């Protein structure tokens, strides 16, 4: 059936609500039946004969239609149609009353009623029939009434046919949320891409030499990956774009990262490592031992009586606050680490891998922690540009030719092997980074209790196993979970992943020692690095603590190495 339409001037026809549709055949049938009854209605106007009036007849017809179409959708049409039908009938009745009053004779003319009255009655009846016919045929009021009733139902019917206002609202809300999420994802992807491009461009512009340029580009790639991960977490339609971006950046950064390596620590710094571990643990930053070693390398190379160049620190109360005044290396280390712990906390550094905040803490150690609050307030953190700006401002304020080292952070970074953003995330660097984070731990309860022991055991193997577990290497079956050194040796030899002593190991290799040279291992650690002549290690249960040590490549105490397939 065609839908009932309402013609609106100046606009295209509007399709009315399906709930108010009335079949055209039923409308036509109602009109024809009304026409056939018109002669009967004309004879009975003004008389109460008990037969159907026009209103009743139309009402009954609409009620029958309502039963066929459904009570909910037709009841509104019935009420509207009935109301308009009543109004039409009232108009006809009023006109008829006026005609009767005009045709009624006066008291003097009462005796002449006879045929005249009869003729007038016939004329009125004829006129009544004509007007009744016109109300249906000539003036399509009935048809108009039905159409208007159908049209008026448009405002009511939508509320009748709605399935559920609650479910409808829920659908709308979900649609809005999905749209917002899609927009948010697209925006996040654009921001990630913009951050990547901006970081790479900045790195290229700021690079002054090839080696330094590679470092800058690696850091730029790291920042771009962080932005990409943020976009990925936003979810939605931009996931594929972000994944492609991440893969590209990681590939480039991995290549750049492999092209750079930290410079080796001096023998003097390594000799001071036990003191560094001691005071780092005392002042609450035991995991920052590598960062402190890098500071010492830049300050003095570990040489002299003030290896941390801490004479000007406020915690120096035993010597003058002038450069190089401290005459006790141990005291210098204590004062310097106490002050650096303040810098770490003020910078908000959460871990040695939090490079942005770590750099801020380093520059604060050189300038004084007043720089940290200044940089955070004005710029939100460290940058080489604001480090230079601060130096220039302080030099001008004091009338000096210079102030501090504006490039202190790049200088310290040369000696920090745990500083690359990717260094602690993938490959052998992950195991070394985890081991470094435990420097300063004493007693080893964390490791032997993790293994399952209820009381203290010799825990060097437990430490290595714990680090491997944290790196996911035990789950990958790349390293065994062992608490006895000989068991570890047997596992690597059985897997064909054994390298004899005297060879040059790679970082992340498991190193086994034989102190009494009887062919059985009695100690184990992790190789941090090797420069071809010296092996640098991180060992648990070395003097009942996690420490860094070093040995010559040809040391007779090195039994061999377990090769880890990363």
| pLDDT, tens digit, 9 for 90 and up, residues 315-353 | 999 999 999 999 999 999 999 999 999 999 999 998 887
Q: What is the pLDDT of residue 546?
A: 96
Task: Give the residue with greater pLDDT, 299 vs 288.
Answer: 299
Both 433 and 405 in one domain: the answer is: no
Q: Is residue 39 part of a domain?
A: no
Note the Cα 378 to chain centre separation in Å.
28
Q: Is residue 283 part of a domain?
A: yes
Both 433 and 410 in one domain: the answer is: no
* pLDDT tens column, 219-245: 545 544 444 444 444 444 444 444 444
Both 383 and 479 in one domain: the answer is: no
> Which structural domain, as residue segments, surrounds residue 325?
267-418
Q: What is the pLDDT of residue 194?
A: 61
- Tokens read off for 447: 């490791």
Both 399 and 445 in one domain: the answer is: no
- Output the CA–CA distances (angstroms, integers) from residue 291 to 276, 349, 417, in the order listed: 10, 12, 9
Residues 230, 234, 238, 240, CA torsion sign: positive
Q: What is the pLDDT of residue 532?
A: 83
d(CA 353, CA 287): 10
Q: Is residue 551 part of a domain?
A: yes
Q: Is residue 131 part of a domain?
A: no
Give me the CATH number covering residue 394: 1.10.530.10
Closest CA to 237 of 271, 187, 273: 187
Q: Averaged over 126-152, what is the pLDDT?
A: 45
Whether 488 contacts 512, CB under 8 Å = yes
Q: Averaged over 267-284, what is the pLDDT?
A: 87
Both 333 and 275 in one domain: the answer is: yes
Both 271 and 408 in one domain: the answer is: yes
Residue 488 clears pLDDT 60, i.e. is over it: yes
* 262-271, 322-331, 435-444, 452-461: least confidently modelled range: 262-271
Q: Concatenated DSSP letters for 235-266?
A: -GGGHHHHHHHHHHHHHHHHHHHHT--PPPPP
- Tokens read off for 239: 């996931």
Residue 38 clears pLDDT 80, i.e. is over it: no
* pLDDT tens column, 515-548: 999 999 999 999 999 888 999 999 999 999 999 9
Does pTM surpass 0.85?
no
Q: Which residues pair with 431 in a beta bridge?
A: none
Q: Averaged over 86-101, what is the pLDDT?
A: 75
d(CA 532, CA 526): 16
Provide the terminal-to-terminal Cα distance of the chain, rounded to the nearest Å. 73
Buried b (16+ CB within 10 A) or exposed e, 498-521: bbebeeebebbbbbbbbeeeeeeb
Both 322 and 441 in one domain: the answer is: no
Both 402 and 282 in one domain: the answer is: yes
Instruction: Please give the helix or strand (H or E) that residue 291 lies within, else none.
Output: helix 289-299
What distance separates the 2 farthest-apart alpha carbons in the chain? 157
Both 407 and 449 in one domain: the answer is: no
CB atoms within 10 A of CB 376: 16
């Amino acid at each position: 059936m065609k839908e009932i339409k309402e013609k609106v001037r100046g606009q295209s026809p509007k399709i009315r609500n399906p709930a108010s549709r009335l079949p055209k055949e039923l409308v036509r049938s109602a009109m024809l039946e009304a026409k056939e009854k018109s002669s009967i209605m004309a004879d009975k106007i003004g008389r109460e004969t008990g037969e159907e009036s026009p209103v009743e007849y139309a009402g009954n017809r609409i009620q029958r239609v309502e039963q066929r179409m459904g009570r909910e959708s037709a009841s509104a049409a019935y009420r509207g149609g009935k109301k308009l039908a009543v109004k039409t009938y009232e108009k006809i009745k009023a006109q008829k009353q006026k005609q009767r009053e005009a045709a009624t004779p006066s008291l003097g003319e009462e005796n002449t009623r006879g045929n005249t009255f009869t003729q007038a009655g016939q004329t009125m009846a004829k006129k009544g029939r004509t007007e009744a016919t016109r109300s249906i045929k000539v003036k399509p009021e009935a048809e108009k009434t039905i159409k208007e009733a159908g049209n008026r139902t448009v405002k009511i019917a939508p509320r009748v046919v709605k399935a559920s206002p609650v479910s409808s609202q829920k659908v709308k809300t979900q649609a809005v949320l999905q749209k917002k999420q899609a927009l948010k994802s697209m925006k996040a992807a654009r921001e990630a891409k913009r951050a990547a491009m901006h970081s790479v461009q900045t790195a290229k512009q700021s690079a002054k030499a090839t080696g330094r340029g590679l470092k800058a580009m690696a850091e730029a790639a790291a920042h771009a990956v962080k932005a990409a991960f943020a976009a990925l977490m936003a979810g939605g339609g931009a996931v594929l774009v972000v994944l492609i971006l991440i893969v590209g950046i990681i590939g480039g950064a991995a290549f750049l990262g492999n092209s750079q390596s930290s410079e080796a620590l001096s023998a003097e710094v390594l000799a001071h490592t036990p003191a560094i571990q001691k005071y780092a643990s005392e002042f609450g930053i035991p995991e920052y031992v590598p960062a402190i070693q890098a500071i010492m390398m830049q300050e003095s190379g570990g040489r002299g009586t003030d290896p941390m160049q801490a004479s000007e620190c406020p915690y120096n109360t035993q010597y003058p606050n002038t450069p190089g005044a401290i005459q006790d290396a141990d005291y210098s280390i204590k004062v310097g680490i106490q002050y650096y712990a303040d810098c770490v906390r003020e910078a908000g550094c959460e871990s040695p891998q939090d490079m942005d905040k770590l750099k801020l803490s380093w520059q604060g150690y050189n300038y004084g922690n007043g720089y940290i609050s200044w940089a955070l307030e004005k710029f939100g953190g460290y940058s080489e540009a604001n480090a230079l700006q601060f130096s220039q401002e302080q030099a001008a304020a004091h009338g000096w030719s210079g102030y501090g080292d504006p490039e202190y952070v790049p200088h310290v970074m040369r000696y920090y092997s745990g500083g690359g953003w990717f260094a602690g995330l993938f490959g052998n660097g992950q195991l070394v980074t985890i081991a470094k984070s435990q420097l300063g731990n004493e007693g080893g309860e964390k490791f032997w209790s993790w293994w399952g022991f209820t009381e203290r055991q010799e825990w060097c193997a437990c430490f290595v196993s714990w680090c491997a577990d944290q790196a996911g290497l035990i789950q990958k079956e790349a390293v065994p979970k062992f608490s006895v050194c000989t068991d570890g040796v047997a596992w690597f030899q059985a897997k064909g992943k054994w390298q004899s002593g005297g060879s040059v190991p790679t970082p992340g290799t498991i190193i086994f020692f034989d102190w009494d040279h009887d062919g059985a291992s009695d100690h184990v650690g992790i190789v941090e690095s090797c420069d071809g002549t010296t092996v640098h290690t991180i060992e648990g249960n070395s003097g009942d603590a996690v420490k860094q040590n070093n040995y010559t490549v040809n040391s007779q105490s090195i039994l061999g190495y377990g090769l880890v397939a990363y």
